[in-house]
Amino acid sequence: MAKAVTKDPVHIDPGYKMPDLVALSRALVDAYTKAVPIYEEYLEKHGSPEAMEAFLNRDLDPLNIRESYLAFLDSIVTDPTKFFELQAEFVQQWATLWHESLMKFMGQGGKTIIEPEAGDRRFRAPEWHESALFDFIKQSYLLTCRWMDRTVRDTEGMDPKQKEKLAFATKLFANAISPTNFILTNPEVLNETLKTGGENLVKGFENLIEDMERGHGELKISTTDYDTFELGKNVAVTPGRVVFENDLMQLLQYSPSTKTVFETPLLIIPPWINKYYILDLRPENSFIAWAVSQGHTVFTISWVNPGPELALKRFEDYMNEGVLAALTQIEEITGQASTNVIGYCLGGTLLACTLAYLTARKKDSRVASATFLTTLLDFEKAGDLKLFADEEQIEQIDRKMHEKGILEGRDMQQTFSLLRANDLIWSFVVNNYLMGKEPFPFDLLYWNDDCTNMPAAMHSFYLRKMYQENALIRPGAVTMMDVPVDLGTIKTAAFFLSTREDHIAPWKATYDGLRRLGGPITLTLAASGHIAGVINPPEKKKYCYWDNSAIPDDPDQWLEKAVQHDGSWWPRWQKWIKDFGGKKIPARKPAKGIEAAPGRYVRMKI
């Protein structure tokens, strides 16, 4: 049944505000005055012949799409039949859309040809459904996007990797040209402009200038109200002490909130691509605070935000000076020779390497159990991030890191933003610059913007060995401190948490990896994505999770027979970890140590 559609293109408030031209011109002049020094700073930084050459040779095509596009054109020329079939189908669909839209314009109903995908929040305004004009704009855009995607994906004769890269670039282009991103084709922006007399656009221009100032001449889009949050005040506030530090990390021990605790302590290894406090945002959604409340003596690693002086730090240094050093300190502090360990994302990849190393050195008893949160071990199906790790792009990254000794955190942040461009880029372009509004205070996005650098040696190794060569699954292809890594030798009991909508560590890719281990495996699949699926406290009563004690070869078979449970996976993990916790003992209070949590390292800005 078609939805009712009006003939009015947009609902206009008859009492809309006339623009104050004097005030608007004064605001524009003020914004322009602020923009001039920013423009001069940008030219000073990027206007040299060397910078322009780098832009033309590298930055103009950061995804290295040129080769894939040429292969696509060659495939069309070689066999144009499929292309013309899709073209003819597209023309027919357009004709149908035009006919049905005319019916709607005349108030005679009309069928809907295409709807946005579930979860697409760009077209929530009622005008996209109720106005015949905006409904036509929406559907014509969606038809074009579908045609572009199918044209790439259905083209035969292309290398699969080239096809995936071109499909990703096509999606980025389609996101960029969405009608929601432009003033005259976004009904919400038009309404706001009429309601405010254009003040939203002036305020949006001011927001743009402020974001250019934050980026020192480059656009750094604000995604939250940064003044709302402060480390140690309303995020990363779980009480504790820094009990050890070296060049790479600080070790935090948290104060108990129960009278007794499990004998076996718990160590958390966060990824060093981001800061650890994703697991300790606010008290109501802090996994660390919750684990403390469940009777664990919790330690976590807070990685340093490295500068050029740490350029030569290697992946194995993160194991030796990070995980192994932490285990040694925990043993000295608690007297326990064995520790339960959690590794999150890249921290889980490092945990697997550490377990293989300890097994080869016959010291695997140092880890009582291993928990892997959204962790890749087999990188064959590593998702869209793998598109950024071909030889040409790694060489570009290596050149950039050679100049500075690090991969700057904002480069990594931009890559992650591209993976979810509508949510992390274009939604804020519309909100901040077209609607002229301030972004909503959101602790998760505050953390997301608090990015970190990567040491050159470590990151080059990680990209080549993991994403490009997928070497970790081949026994001996990766070594840690001259010891060959063999995942199959790991017998430590492991709990794997994957998330069904993960775009960084796709759950089927994590499934392929967990099957490489040689010990008992417990798998839980949570709803939502890489962050929200993990940070899901029980009190929120959100999402759900699936479990299945069997681990068949096919992940789809696992899911088909898995049992769905409402709510958070945290209590499920707690039930599992109890078997490795040992007896209950009086709670351990951290020593005075070096300083109070969250410590200095997490406060380091790039």
Mean pLDDT over each residue of the chain, to the nearest integer: 89
For residue range 304-347, list pLDDT tens digits in order: 999 999 999 999 999 999 999 999 999 999 999 999 999 999 99
The yes-or-no verdict on residue 428 having pLDDT over 60 is yes
Quick one: 476 and 373 in the same domain?
yes
pLDDT band at 434 (very low <50, low <70, confident <90, very high): very high
CATH label of the domain that carries residue 275 = 3.40.50.1820
Asked if residue 342 lies in contact with residue 264, where contact means CB atoms within 8 angstroms, the answer is no
Quick one: 246 and 181 in the same domain?
no
Residues 6+ apart with CB under 8 A from 597: 232, 236, 238, 239, 240, 241, 242, 252, 254
Among residues 214, 156, 148, which one has the least CA distance to residue 177? 148
Quick one: 79 and 150 in the same domain?
yes
pLDDT band at 221 (very low <50, low <70, confident <90, very high): very high
The pLDDT, as a whole number, for residue 3 is 46
Asked if residue 508 lies in contact with residue 381, where contact means CB atoms within 8 angstroms, the answer is yes
What's the rounded Cα separation, in Å, for the pair 480 and 360? 10
Query: What's the structural domain count of the chain?
Result: 2
Among residues 473, 507, 477, 505, which one has the least CA distance to residue 490? 473
In a domain, 344, yes or no: yes
Sign of the CA dihedral running 303, 309, 311, 312: negative
Provide the greatest CA pair distance for the chain. 80
Last residue of a domain, one of 196, 229, 253: 196
In a domain, 219, yes or no: no
Q: Could you tell me the residue range of the domain that residue 76 belongs to?
A: 24-196
* Least confident residue range of 16-25, 125-134, 480-489: 16-25
The yes-or-no verdict on residue 198 having pLDDT over 60 is yes
The pLDDT, as a whole number, for residue 4 is 45
What's the rounded Cα separation, in Å, for the pair 407 and 308? 9
In a domain, 554, yes or no: yes
In a domain, 524, yes or no: yes
The residue whose two tokens read 């892997």 is 372
In a domain, 286, yes or no: yes
In a domain, 205, yes or no: no
Quick one: 353 and 452 in the same domain?
yes
Quick one: 154 and 252 in the same domain?
no
Last residue of a domain, one of 196, 228, 253: 196
In a domain, 203, yes or no: no
What's the rounded Cα separation, in Å, for the pair 429 and 221? 8
The pLDDT, as a whole number, for residue 286 is 97
Quick one: 75 and 144 in the same domain?
yes
For residue range 142-185, list pLDDT tens digits in order: 999 999 999 998 888 888 888 888 899 999 999 999 999 999 99
In this prediction, residues 479-483 reach a mean pLDDT of 96
Residue environment code for 185-224, b if the CB has 16+ CB neighbours within 10 A, otherwise e: bbbbbbbbbbebbbbbbbbbbbbbbbbbeeeebeebbbbb
Full 3-state SS string of 144-193:
HHHHHHHHHHCCCCCCHHHHHHHHHHHHHHHHHCCHHHCHHHCHHHHHHH
The yes-or-no verdict on residue 499 having pLDDT over 70 is yes
For residue range 541-558, list pLDDT tens digits in order: 999 999 999 999 999 999
In a domain, 59, yes or no: yes
Quick one: 266 and 188 in the same domain?
no
* Least confident residue range of 24-38, 388-402, 499-513: 24-38
Quick one: 75 and 139 in the same domain?
yes
* Least confident residue range of 148-152, 412-416, 431-435: 412-416
Quick one: 352 and 481 in the same domain?
yes
The pLDDT, as a whole number, for residue 45 is 63
Which structure tokens are listed for 555?
A: 């992940």
Quick one: 71 and 142 in the same domain?
yes
Quick one: 261 and 178 in the same domain?
no
Q: What percent of the chain shows pLDDT beyond 90?
A: 68
Quick one: 595 and 471 in the same domain?
yes
Task: Give the pairing type, strands 298-303 and 249-254.
Answer: antiparallel
The yes-or-no verdict on residue 75 having pLDDT over 90 is no
Positions annotated as catalytic residues are 345
